[in-house]
Amino acid sequence: MRLVPFGSLTEDDFTAWRAIRDGDSRWDSPYFTPEYIAAVHAGQPVDVLLGDGFVWPLHKTGSSARPAGSPGADFQGPLLEPGVRFSPRRILTDVGIRCLSFDHLLDGYRDLDPYVEERRTSPVMDVSGGLDGYTKRVTKSGRDKMSEARRLTSKVSRELGPVEFTVEATEGLGRVIAMKREQYASTGAKDHFADQANQDLLYRLHAGNLGVLSTVYAGPHLLAAHFGIRSGEVLHWWFPVYDRKFGTYSPGWILLREMVMAAPRLGINRIDLGRGEDEYKRRAMTGSSTVCIGAVASGPRTTVRRISRAAVTAAKASPLAPQLKAIARRFR
């Protein structure tokens, strides 16, 4: 295998990349497109590990590497032609690193399975057939929320002003980022957009063909918005936000319902909600995929990672977990 700077890839390299992706729906997420990696590379250098029937874009830093776009990329892993096998240990040698970590690796890579430390559910919504098709597949809980969103849309129209949904807005990304940062601050979550590079990536994606900014207004009021990325029939639900002062109207569900209704005219059949345990994902999902956390590491690094991961898992399972989380937020 050879490690090639993204900017040095040839047309033949891109042709091979697209052929592998087009040949298997496993990689139909926009995270596996050359266009997404190009947007990432514009802000942080990407090197691509190439082999026969093998493509894996990576960030290399010192003696370690991680999938390109990590930790923001919700799906990761090499693109492989059918039947291709590889040696993860050999990758360390070929790239010149001691550790290759991943946090959203698609499940099912036989050669990487021994290095998986934890598996997580990544909910999806099958929206083929629009709202009618979706409500036939989702659970009663999800149907109830969609019905509630319909009623609340009418209520919002009466009380705040006519509801207007724009599926591909050209303006407002800065406001969405600001609202997301306020949400991070209010919940104590790590601020993804404290790093200006992460903000810049969204602007590049929005300016290109992948970014999709959607908004719901009631009169002059922005109720909710979402920025995601789209490729073919797949929309990845990435950064949803809503105005907390309108929380009683369930603006997030109003937005999601509008997107499901718009799916047929957009040619979207699936919405990937991404890894997470949010209640709305549990209610809205019609199925799920699995993503993995782990690392290929040399020497004692493997043992250290497994011990650390076991300690974290034990802490989460502890009755003291809520108190530990509260303490951790104070020091962020």
Mean per-residue pLDDT, 172-193: 95
CATH number for the region 128-268 comes to 3.40.630.30
- Our CA dihedral for 88, 90, 94, 100, rounded to 10 degrees, sits at 30
pTM of the model: 0.89
SS3 content of the chain, % helix, strand, coil (to 5): 45, 25, 25
Q: CA neighbours within 13 Å on the CB side: how many for 231? A: 16
Confidence band for 54, pLDDT divided at 50, 70 and 90: very high
What is the spatial distance between Cα 195 and Cα 70, in angstroms, rounded to a whole number?
13
pLDDT of residue 321: 55
Those residues whose C-beta lies under 8 Å from the C-beta of residue 85, and which sit 6 or more positions away, are 110, 111
pLDDT of residue 325: 53
Cβ(31)–Cβ(21) below 8 Å: no
Tokens of 235: 């929309």
Judged against a pLDDT cut of 90, whether residue 19 lies above it is answered with: yes
Task: Please report the DSSP string for 247-263 in residue order.
Answer: GGG-HHHHHHHHHHHHH
What is the spatial distance between Cα 158 and Cα 135, in angstroms, rounded to a whole number?
26
Using DSSP's 3-state secondary structure scheme, residue 60 falls into strand
116 backbone dihedrals φ, ψ, rounded to 5°: -80, 130
Percentage of the chain lying above the pLDDT 70 cut: 90
Judged against a pLDDT cut of 70, whether residue 84 lies above it is answered with: yes
Per-residue pLDDT tens digits for 125-176: 999 999 999 999 999 999 999 999 999 999 999 999 999 999 999 999 999 9
Residue 215: Cβ within 10 Å count: 23
Q: Do domains 2-120+291-325 and 128-268 have the same CATH topology?
A: yes
Phi/psi region, residue 53 (left: phi>0; alpha: psi -120 to 50; beta: rest), is left
Those residues whose C-beta lies under 8 Å from the C-beta of residue 72, and which sit 6 or more positions away, are 192, 198, 201
Tokens of 110: 């036989």
Judged against a pLDDT cut of 90, whether residue 188 lies above it is answered with: yes
Domain assignments of the chain as residue spans, ordered by start = 2-120+291-325, 128-268
pLDDT of residue 332: 34
Per-residue pLDDT tens digits for 276-304: 989 999 999 999 999 999 999 987 544 44
Per-residue pLDDT tens digits for 100-125: 999 999 999 999 999 999 999 999 99
Q: Which of 73, 86, 74, 80 is nearest to 112 (CA)?
A: 86
Pairing of strands 270-272, 234-242: parallel
CA 237 vs. chain centroid, Å, equals 7
Locate tokens 């929309």: which residue? 235
In words, the CATH class of domain 2-120+291-325 is: alpha beta
Locate tokens 């809980």: which residue? 141
Residue 3: Cβ within 10 Å count: 17
